Amino acid sequence: MNAKNESGNGVAFGLGATLLWGSYPLWYKPLAGLDAYHLLSWRVVFAELFLVALLLLTGRLPVLRSTLKTVRPINVLTVAAVLGLWWLMYIYGIMTGRVLEVAFGYFLSPIMSMLVSRLIFKERLTTLQTWAILLAVTGVTLMAFELLNLRSFPWIALVIGFCYSFYGIFKKKVPGDPVVVQTLEIGVLLPFAAVFLMLAHAAGQGHQFLLSTSHDLLLVATGLITVLPLWWYSLAAKRLSMITLGFLQFVPPICNFVLAAFVYGEPVSSLKLAAFAFIWLALTLFTWNSIRVQRANAASNPAVQLRTA
């Protein structure tokens, strides 16, 4: 297969993954009768089942066994804990009608990653990165003013942003095949999810399954839509440049924003629009800085060919 076809397939896989991630509210909203803890638990159970099935179908169980021998348990536990909190906040935001705030959190995430790197790892920031952070802080401040008027605070967005940042940091300590590593991470969450569902059932709150065919299919689908985009994105990452992947990461929050504003009718005030505008401007600077860095790296190392799609 030539490079053009490889790149085209990469874009298809990348768009498929990010569009599916962006469509999560469409899958979760019909399950509004469940609380966030129940939905998270079912998602963990079915996601792990589909992940194990995928490993079997692709012959990667030996990779799972070898990865288990090389990773440090504390690193997997840490990543799993951050992932669990991240998923819980996302689900809670959708189920409580705060999809717009969820989208804000995801737009904010790359900027928060830079801020965390600066504060914790003392990494030096470029001028563009500094301006991006200042613009993002302005956006968060405007969003906070808007929500404080409604006696709320954008804590869901901030938690999602921090989870995204720390997940990326801790994930570096658990290298390996993305599907295999996520099988380990969700495998850590599985016992907690199973115990929660059993205790809820014993307390008379567990009749969340076998309610109707459509309801049960949606619950099962929460596992499938967790695994498919992860698999597709891992295939895209092998075929596309980091620049292209960087642009694709904005597809899910754009989808969430559109769904919140035009499908679920969440109010988009002028102050909220201004907050998003500052975040989008910050992301523009962030992306432009990333492009400049990659081009500089490619120019300084002719052996590295920068692929764009």
> What's the one-letter identity of residue 138?
T
Query: CA 233, CA 167: separation in Å to the nearest integer?
Result: 17
Write the pLDDT tens digit of every residue in 141-186: 888 888 777 677 889 999 999 998 899 888 888 888 989 999 999 9
Instruction: Please provide the DSSP assignment of 271-288 as one string.
Output: HHHHHHHHHHHHHHHHHH
The label of the residue with tokens 């390996």 reads 176
HSE of 103, CA atoms in CB hemisphere, 13 A: 28
Residue boundaries of the structural domains of the chain: 3-300
Question: Of 39-48, 194-203, 205-214, which range is least confident?
Answer: 205-214
Taking only the tens place, the pLDDT of each residue in 45-88 is 999 999 999 999 999 999 999 999 999 999 999 999 999 999 99
d(CA 161, CA 36): 19
pTM of structure: 0.86
Rounded to the nearest angstrom, the gap between the alpha carbon of residue 145 and the centroid of all alpha carbons in its chain is: 26
pLDDT reported for residue 234: 87
| Span between the terminal Cα atoms of the chain, in Å | 16
> How far is residue 168's CA from residue 98's CA, in Å, rounded to a whole number?
24
pLDDT single digits (tens) 258-304: 999 999 999 888 988 999 999 999 989 988 888 887 777 666 655 44
Question: What pLDDT, on the 0 to 100 scale, is given for residue 203?
Answer: 80
Return the pLDDT at 111: 84
Q: Which positions ≥6 away from 9 have C-beta within 8 Å?
A: 1, 235, 239
